[in-house]
Amino acid sequence: MHSTNSGIKKFIPWIVILVIVLIFDFIKVLPKTMEWIDAQKQISTITEKITQTRIILKKNEEKKAEVQSQFDTEAKDFVLEEQQIFPTRFSPYDVSKNFELFSIQHSLLSVKSILRIESLSFSGGGDGTTGVMLNLLCTEDTLKRIIEYLQSGNLPEDILDNENLDTLDVEYLKAHKLPLAHINSIRVSKGEEIMGVKLKRIALDILFFVQH
């Protein structure tokens, strides 16, 4: 009996030390463990939020693309018209062809609608503007229509609705509007008489604008 008690007493210090170590580990390790568990929960929450945010962003991007596509479709004609009346560059060829077709089709309306281009010249073009000197032979009534055409960019109704005119030429004029224009000056002088119609010589000093 004495021997058994002596054996137990020998282990008591080790048991005390083990208990102290366990208590120390519990005190030191448990908070770290709890912190780790909380950190894992936070990471899981953040990861979930990031996933949800990505889903929302993807939906927003898809919605944006859908809206942009719809806008492009609906605004296509307006954007094209804007590009025509305020182009990035000035094309003397396009403007010359426009005036030529306009004069031909306008002259076909009636005898009094005769419109002849005597000369067309270009100048400038380095500061976002291009000057055009246009010399015409027409009546003063036709001159008023030309001024309206330059200022509005819209063809006269009797050209748009006239089935006797060249459809391809009219469609070209509709699809190729003149750039934004400002008339610097108009000079009217004596002209000549053609088929009983008294025509005036008109000198138009025009300024066309482009994106600079």
pLDDT digit string, tens, across residues 83-127: 555 567 888 999 999 999 999 999 999 989 999 999 999 987 667
Amino acid (one-letter) located at 146? I
> Which residues form the domain of 78?
1-85
- Cα 171 to the center of its chain, rounded Å: 25
Q: Please report the pLDDT score of residue 104 as a whole number.
A: 94
The verdict on 102 and 177 lying in the same domain is: yes
The verdict on 57 and 79 lying in the same domain is: yes
- Write the CATH number for 134: 3.30.70.60
The verdict on 59 and 96 lying in the same domain is: no
3-class state of residue 185 by DSSP: strand
The verdict on 198 and 96 lying in the same domain is: yes
- Cα 154 to the center of its chain, rounded Å: 23
Q: Please report the pLDDT score of residue 168 as a whole number.
A: 93
Q: Please report the pLDDT score of residue 153 as a whole number.
A: 84
The verdict on 199 and 165 lying in the same domain is: yes
The Cα 169–Cα 155 span in angstroms is 12
The verdict on 54 and 34 lying in the same domain is: yes
Q: Please report the pLDDT score of residue 79 as a whole number.
A: 46
Entry pTM: 0.61
Q: Which residues of the chain have pLDDT under 70?
A: 1-30, 70-87, 125-126, 212
The Cα 59–Cα 93 span in angstroms is 47
The verdict on 193 and 101 lying in the same domain is: yes
The verdict on 186 and 100 lying in the same domain is: yes
The count of structural domains within the chain is 2
Q: Please report the pLDDT score of residue 47 as a whole number.
A: 86
Of 56, 85, 114, which one is at a domain's C-terminal end?
85
The verdict on 139 and 180 lying in the same domain is: yes
- Name every residue whose Cβ is closer than 8 Å to that of residue 55 and which is 6 or more positions away in sequence: none
The verdict on 136 and 49 lying in the same domain is: no
| Percent share of the chain, pLDDT over 70 | 75
